[in-house]
Every structure is written in C-alpha cells, then in structure tokens.
Amino acid sequence: MATAELVLGLLSAGPAHGYDVKRGHDSWFPDGRPLAFGQVYTTLGRLERDELVEVVEKTSGGGPDRTVYALTDKGRKHLADWLVDPVPPAWGSADEVLRKLVAAVRTGGDAAVFLARQRASHLRRIRELQETPTGPDPTSTIVRDYIVAHLDADLRWLDSALDRISEQETS
C-alpha cells in the first residue's frame, strides 16, 4: 500500500496533526484495516526527511507534543505524479491464499477443506460488507464495490481451483 502517498493526499486539504491524518485515512477506507498511529508518525518522519512535508507548528500544551505537518511544493508534485501513474497488476492479497493452497497440495494436506473454509470466509466478508451501510461520501461506495468485486473474483478462482483438484483426485 502506498501509505506515504495517501498521507500526502490527506495533507493536500491543508496542514494537519498526525492524529487527523490517521482519522482521515480511516474515514477514507472504513472497510479496511485502520492505519496504526506508529505508521502515521513513521511515514510523516520519512516524508519530512524527503522534504515532501514540513512542520509548520509544534505545541505542547500540558499533553503530548502536537506537530502540524503541511505539504511542500515537492510533496504536491510527488502526489500529482503518483495520482497519474498507473498501478501495475500485482498478486495482491490472493498471494497468501495461493501459497497455502499450493502448500496443502504439495504436503498432502486437505486442499478441498482449505478451499471450502476459504470460500466460506470470503462469503462471510461479502455479506458483512453488503449488510453494513456505507456513508454519504461516494468514495465509500466505490471502495466497498472494489472490495466486493475482488472477493467475488477470488470466489470464482476458489471454485475453479477446487474443480481442478477434484479432477486430479478422480483421475
């Protein structure tokens, strides 16, 4: 995941604290894994080192230090370049599923049981996503549709893999 570029995108609306960056990320991707605070501050540190963001304010009013970050011109250019650059097709999250399946087949594990459980897990996640209302922000629906479409494609692949394994067992 391009965490650095997402942080730049979140800062494009204006200067913000690390807490605001984290909250913004989590609202952009409500169905995804929340961004860890440690990851936010590590990313902001790297972006500052690379001169893509700068500290515009530091306060310590009795609590923890509050640092406000803003995009630099170099950061705006980096974000603009990233937004137009296409993403190469990649293995994605199916990589672990594929590795487990191959390991099950090669080690004599019960690949059919693994596939059935994985299929049930995918179906549960699709149901959860379909039953949970999205927010008024149109990007919530776009993100949700993307996740469901990928899970659906994974389901088709899981069924195909089960068919192939079943064919090999019967021959």
Q: Which residue has the higher pLDDT, 99 or 56?
A: 56
Quote the pLDDT of residue 90. 62
Asked whether the predicted pLDDT for residue 66 surpasses 90, the reply is: no
Tokens linked to 171: 């021959």
Widest Cα–Cα separation across the chain: 73
- The percent of residues above 90 in pLDDT, for the chain, comes to 54
pLDDT at position 59: 84
32-41, 68-77, 86-95: which has the highest mean pLDDT?
Answer: 68-77
Please answer whether residues 122 and 155 qualify as being in contact, where contact means their C-beta atoms are separated by less than 8 angstroms.
yes
Nearest residue to 148 via CA among 131, 164, 125: 125
Task: Give 6-63 pLDDT, tens digit per residue.
Answer: 999 999 999 999 999 999 999 888 888 899 999 999 999 999 999 999 999 988 777 7
DSSP 33-59: PPPPHHHHHHHHHHHHHTTSEEEEEEE
SS3 state at 132: coil
